[in-house]
């Protein structure tokens, strides 16, 4: 049995930026964030392993500090994230079954994918007539991408990779870590707004009920706002920050599609479970924008709140970076989720 990690670097490999947090476990329930960094990447250029290695090297250099391992969370357009129902099976056997018989289990040929699965703890039986049926979360990304990431970390001189996670699962884990009481006792709706797309996660009392990817991210919102206003990106962002009426209306129009998707997801959830969704927990780059949160709240007619994944952690970052961290903490949920999962393993 491997020795449990006491310090780990959580890294979020996004399309627009690489984010990292250095988290240490000081006791049974005491976590400290000592370093963090964000490194913007050129999203127009193709991400080769050497390019990614260079970016990781720059990110770790900017962050400072060191740890025994890295926990990586990645989002990929071809990533698979499914909930499947199976008779109770040990996960290592199911993993092999998925690898050998993915066409049957996932209705998709996944020979070129690396797959992993995990039993989802369920409070409500899926099929009341068959209590042996369990729900499993299956995640996968193309093997070439896994190899690229491994090579990039090796070339970037980073500590060894302890785990490779999908960004939505990392967000789910981060929410469990940050808001344990809500996670354990209530239904919750998580919205992670990324650069290219948003992820919707619906859960209730520890159980992951629904995962959806929506093709609407920060880039689409900015592009729409720029097109509607005819202004450039900095002007649009400044106007949005100043709650310019025209820009707010433009944002409302831009976010309409996303709000509709959220509404339909909530409807789906509430139709299946007798638990209401009372608020939406927003993370990602645009969780920092109060205007976006207000517009979404108005559109959904329920509060949309940003949540901070490092809420339970002691913040021990250098004093010069403390203000920057409080601004960027809302965007660190994926990196924090990856790190906490590795520390809790």
Partner 1 sequence: MALHINLYHEIQRARKEEQYDPLKISLLCIGFVGLCLAGLYFGKLSQTMGVRDQYTAQKAEISTLEPQAAAAKLKEAELTASIQLADKLSKRIEDRFYWAPVMEQIGLTIPANVQITKLTGDISVTDASRRIGIALDGIAAGEQPRKVAEDIRLALIDNLGEKYKNVTATFRSLDDSTEQVRFEGKEMPTALFSINITFSATAVPLAPRTVQR
Task: Kindly state whether residue 84 participates in binding partner 1, applying the rule CB under 8 A.
Answer: no
- 35 or 340: whose CB is closer to partner 1? 340
Site string for partner 1, 197-216 (x = CB under 8 A): -----------x--------
Task: Kindly state whether residue 12 participates in binding partner 1, applying the rule CB under 8 A.
Answer: no
Choosing from 17, 21, 166, 209, the residue that interacts with partner 1 (CB under 8 A) is 166
Task: Kindly state whether residue 77 participates in binding partner 1, applying the rule CB under 8 A.
Answer: no
Query: By C-alpha distance, which of 180, 203, 197, 216 is closest to 266?
Result: 203
CB of 32: closest distance to partner 1 in angstroms?
Answer: 18
Q: Are 84 and 138 in contact (CB under 8 A)?
A: yes
Site string for partner 1, 23-52 (x = CB under 8 A): ------------------------------
Task: Kindly state whether residue 147 participates in binding partner 1, applying the rule CB under 8 A.
Answer: yes
Query: Token digits for 107?
Result: 């209705």
Quick check: helix, strand or coil at residue 43? Answer: coil
- 210 or 237: whose CB is closer to partner 1? 210
Q: Are 153 and 53 in contact (CB under 8 A)?
A: yes
Query: For the chain, how far is it from start to end, CA to CA, in angstroms?
Result: 11
Choosing from 72, 187, 193, 236, the residue that interacts with partner 1 (CB under 8 A) is 72
Candidate ranges 113-121, 215-223, 272-280, 304-312; the one touching partner 1 (CB under 8 A):
113-121
Quick check: helix, strand or coil at residue 140? Answer: strand
Angle (nearest 5°) at CA 267 between 262 and 272: 130
Over 234-294, what HEC string results?
HHHHHHHHCCCHHHHHHHHHHCHHHHHHHHHHHHHHHHHCCCCCCCEEEEEHHHHCHHHHH
Choosing from 118, 244, 270, 298, the residue that interacts with partner 1 (CB under 8 A) is 118
Q: How far apart are CA 155 and CA 161, in angstroms?
A: 12
Q: How far apart are CA 167 and CA 12, in angstroms?
A: 7
Choosing from 34, 55, 163, 333, the residue that interacts with partner 1 (CB under 8 A) is 163
Q: How far apart are CA 312 and CA 178, in angstroms?
A: 6
Bridge-based pairing of strands 17-27 and 30-40 is antiparallel
Choosing from 137, 190, 204, 330, the residue that interacts with partner 1 (CB under 8 A) is 137
Site string for partner 1, 92-111 (x = CB under 8 A): ---x----------------
- 137 or 240: whose CB is closer to partner 1? 137
Q: How far apart are CA 216 and CA 264, in angstroms?
A: 15
Q: Are 171 and 199 in contact (CB under 8 A)?
A: yes
Choosing from 98, 161, 182, 292, the residue that interacts with partner 1 (CB under 8 A) is 161
CB of 282: closest distance to partner 1 in angstroms?
Answer: 20
Choosing from 65, 150, 257, 263, the residue that interacts with partner 1 (CB under 8 A) is 150
Candidate ranges 55-63, 117-125, 226-234, 304-312; the one touching partner 1 (CB under 8 A):
117-125
Q: Helices in 301-332 by DSSP H: which ranges?
A: 322-328
Task: List contacts with partner 1 (CB under 8 A).
Answer: 72, 95, 114-118, 120-121, 137, 139-141, 143, 146-147, 149-150, 161-166, 169, 172-173, 176-177, 208, 337, 340-341, 344-345
């Amino acid at each position: 049995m491997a020795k449990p990690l006491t310090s780990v670097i959580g890294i979020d490999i996004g399309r627009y930026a690489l984010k990292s947090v250095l988290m240490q476990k000081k006791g049974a329930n005491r976590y400290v964030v000592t370093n963090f960094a964000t490194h913007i990447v050129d999203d127009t250029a193709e991400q080769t392993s050497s390019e990614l290695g260079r970016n990781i090297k720059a990110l770790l250099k900017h962050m400072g500090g060191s740890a025994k391992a890295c926990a990586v969370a990645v989002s990929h357009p071809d990533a698979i994230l499914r909930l499947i129902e199976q008779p109770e099976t040990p996960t290592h056997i199911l993993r092999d079954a998925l690898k050998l018989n993915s066409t049957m289990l996932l209705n998709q040929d996944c020979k070129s994918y690396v797959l992993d699965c995990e039993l989802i703890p369920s409070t409500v039986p899926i099929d009341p007539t068959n209590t042996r049926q369990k729900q499993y979360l299956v995640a996968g990304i193309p093997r070439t991408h896994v190899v690229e990431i491994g090579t990039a970390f090796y070339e970037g001189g980073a500590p060894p990779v302890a785990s490779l996670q999908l960004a939505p699962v990392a967000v789910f884990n981060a929410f469990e870590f940050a808001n344990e009481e809500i996670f354990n006792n209530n239904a919750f709706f998580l919205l992670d707004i990324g650069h290219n797309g948003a992820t919707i996660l619906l859960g209730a009392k520890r159980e992951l009920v629904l995962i959806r990817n929506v093709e609407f991210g920060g880039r689409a919102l900015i592009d729409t706002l720029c097109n509607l206003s005819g202004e450039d990106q900095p002007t649009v962002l400044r106007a949005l920050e100043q709650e310019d009426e025209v820009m707010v209306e433009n944002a409302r129009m831009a976010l309409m599609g996303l709000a509709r998707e959220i509404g339909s997801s909530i409807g789906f959830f509430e139709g299946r479970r007798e638990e209401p969704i009372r608020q939406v927990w927003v993370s990602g780059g645009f969780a920092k924008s109060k205007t976006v949160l207000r517009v979404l709240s108005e559109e959904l007619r329920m509060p949309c709140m940003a949540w901070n994944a490092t809420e339970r952690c002691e913040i021990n970052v250098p004093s010069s970076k403390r203000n920057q961290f409080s601004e960027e903490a809302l965007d660190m949920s994926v990196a924090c989720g990856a790190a906490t999962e590795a520390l809790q393993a």
